Chains A and B, each alone.
Chain A
Amino acid sequence: MTIDNSTESIHTVEAEAKKRGFGAWLSSIFENKYIGLVALGIALLMPFLIATPYALNIMTTAAIFVVLAAGLNIVVGYCGLLDLGYIAFLAVGAYTAGIISKAFELPVLFTLPAVIVMCILAGLIIGAPTLRLRSDYLAIVTLGFGEITRITANNLTITGGPSGIFGIPGFLVIGHIDFQNPVIFYYLTVIIVAGLVLAAARLGRSRLGRAWKFVKEDEDAAEAMGIHTYKVKLLAYIFGAVWGGFGGMLFASHLTAISPMSFVFLQSALVLMAVVLGGMGNMKGVVLGALAISLLPEFLRDFSSYRYLLFGILLVVVMVFRPQGFWPPRGAEAERTKAERELAALANGLKK
């Protein structure tokens, strides 16, 4: 069969872009490959604009929230597993970091290997039995596990019971630089979070990330292509858990105190909301969603007791008018160039 590529309509891509006008202009900004760097630059410049302890506290909290949303996006956005107990991994990370650093008088950073190991274990323990279930059942079981984790922390002596753990040592001290200083800790958090967001985004564009998306879209078809759907789902869960663990470690050293009250269901729901609002599966959108969810209540503080009402109304409005989220995945990639096409045609001709 001759391969006639003349009908392969590359030129229509540009034609379409011209037609859409404002939308195209907007999407050219949003799809710019440097947008992540710009966002990082803004985050790094923020302390120069506003450096009150209150502002730094909010911004650090928001950055930690971003890493949670990035982790949950791996589970929900990429792999399509509805997890209603994601905050359990934040708890596992935070408690591991808190307990070990306090017991051994270690800087929190040194607890990182233990945090990762514990989160992988937690991911396996929660994921292994539940991931054989399909969507709705999975949601209910993860909800249960989230609550079990919180109630366990509430009742064990090692976790400090309802009052939790306080007086967690600082993150790290090198010479005269104390990373616990709010400005330095903010920068540290932003750098770690940026790295984790980038890593999660890159995972999404790899063989494993594609496998997650195949499983999300059609489990049977993925299975027929040789993808072990159970293993792939478990991997998504474990990656999500590790991202949550990083968040927990930062959370513990940011607040220096943790208690079961920080890990209630509402927190799981808020992280999930950030993912859905931002655009499931698109890491950039999810970061935007996380910032919106964590910062909006602060901007709405002027409305005092009505702020959560307003917040709720805003969420409903967004979901009605943009159910796919602010910034859903684009689902498009580069076409073949004309040269590549001709080269391929030539190579195929030779093979025949």
Chain B
Amino acid sequence: MSAVLEVRDLEIAFGGVKAVDGLSFTANAKEIIAVIGPNGAGKTSAFNCITGFYKPTGGSVLLNGVDITGKRPADIAHEGVSRTFQNLRLFHDMTVLDNVRAGMHLYGGQNFLDAIFHTPRFRRSEAHYTAEAHYWLDFVGYRGRRGVPIRNLSYGQQKQVEIARALARKAELLLLDEPAAGLNHSEKQSLLELVRRIRDLGTAVVLIEHDMGLVMEVSERIVVMNFGKEIADGTPAEVKANPAVIEAYLGKDDEDEEVPAHGDA
């Protein structure tokens, strides 16, 4: 089985700074991959390259073997990639349902004449959109009101809606950028379980996350980045034992000598 996503030697430079420098990994259907690394390691830049928001300066991104490197974000979404953003990017003045409907734009099913004359085709497609929106909101476990503008919702609920919107796209590849940021413990537990259910739909899930506990528990493979470079790629156990990873997170031994040990403070 060929990989859903294949990233080869991905590279992006902003001026002289190489934000991503030679990142390679693959993600298969029904697999959860985590991309981790200290702040500024280039994780979000890599996501932006994969989804077309940045044009990579080197390397390639393949989706089901098709090269999508450097295409427009909308075209890449069309090919079957969906994503969430690090800092919620919802449509604040629109209702919860409308926000989820955004993910269904590519379903089509009506044109402007249908809309102007309210043809049966239009009514059918609108009913379908609404039913799907409710379905995905139920799927992510959203329990709040659905006909109100998104800005009235709590942060946790907004995160749920953003995932529902990304799921409504029914993409083969879902990129989640820090889905657990700002969530409390029980919300994180539901998220963990939700990510697994998304995987069970047959989706390849790639997530960026800082919460190590969550990452170790949920992911099948972990890609570790530091200063734009990929320093490890393996199962949670392998990554945990990798000296380069330990060094990236805890610092070198000689650096430790300069800084007093935590126990002393």
Contacts and interface: CB of A to CB of B under 8 A. Distances in A.
Interface of A: 1, 3-5, 7-10, 12-13, 199, 202-203, 205-211, 213-214, 217-218, 220-229, 239, 329, 331-336, 340, 344-345, 348
22 contacts: A3-B141, A5-B143, A10-B145, A199-B116, A205-B115, A206-B110, A207-B105, A207-B109, A213-B93, A214-B102, A217-B91, A217-B93, A220-B53, A226-B106, A227-B74, A227-B105, A239-B112, A331-B95, A332-B147, A333-B97, A335-B146, A336-B134
A8 B85 CA distance: 26
Nearest to B101: A210
Nearest to A4: B143
Interface string B109-147: 110101110100010011001000011001101011111
B4 to A, nearest CB: 17
Interface string B188-223: 001001100100000000000000000000000000
B125 to A, nearest CB: 7
A202 B118 contact: yes
A227 B129 CA distance: 16
Contacts of B97: 333
B115 A207 contact: yes
Given A229-B74, A334-B147, A344-B134, A203 B115 contact: yes
Contacts of A345: 138
B228 to A, nearest CB: 23
A329 B93 contact: yes
Contacts, number: 136
B72 interface: yes
B175 to A, nearest CB: 9
A213 B53 contact: no
A218 B91 contact: yes
B73 A223 contact: yes
Contacts of B43: none
Contacts of A344: 134-135, 138
A223 B98 contact: no
Given A1-B193, A206-B112, A225-B169, A331 B94 contact: yes
Interface centre among B97, B109, B112 (most CB of A within 10 A): B112
Contacts of B115: 202-203, 205-209
A1 B140 CA distance: 9
A1 B105 CA distance: 28
Contact of B95 (A10, A199, A208, A332): A332
Interface centre among B73, B108, B126 (most CB of A within 10 A): B73
B229 interface: no
B78 interface: yes
Contacts of B112: 203, 206, 208, 239
B89 interface: yes
Given A199-B116, A225-B77, A332-B149, A217 B92 contact: yes
Nearest to B92: A217
A224 B73 contact: yes
B95 A1 contact: no
A199 B118 CA distance: 10
Given A214-B102, A332-B95, A333-B97, A203 B53 contact: no
Contacts of A12: 145
A174 B91 CA distance: 51
Given A7-B143, A206-B126, 19 more contacts: A4-B143, A13-B145, A203-B116, A206-B114, A207-B108, A207-B110, A207-B129, A210-B101, A214-B91, A218-B90, A224-B51, A224-B83, A225-B169, A226-B169, A332-B95, A332-B148, A335-B145, A336-B134, A340-B134
A350 B129 CA distance: 20
Given A199-B116, A225-B103, A348 B135 contact: yes
Contacts of B106: 225-226
B32 to A, nearest CB: 17
Contact of A220 (B89, B95, B139, B144): B89
B143 A210 contact: no
Nearest to A12: B145
A341 to B, nearest CB: 8
Contacts of A225: 77, 82, 102-103, 105-106, 165, 169
Give the 5 A-B residue pairs with the shortest CB-CB distance, closest first: A206-B115, A226-B77, A221-B89, A217-B91, A223-B73
Contact of A222 (B83, B102, B109): B102
A207 to B, nearest CB: 6
Contacts of A13: 145
A156 to B, nearest CB: 33
Contacts of A208: 112, 115
A270 to B, nearest CB: 26
A225 B105 CA distance: 7
A239 B112 CA distance: 10
Contacts of A226: 74, 77-78, 105-106, 169
Contacts of A239: 112
Contacts of B116: 199, 202-203
Given A220-B73, A226-B105, A331 B78 contact: no
Contact of B98 (A3, A210, A340): A210
A223 B98 CA distance: 16
A299 B6 CA distance: 69
A211 B169 CA distance: 14
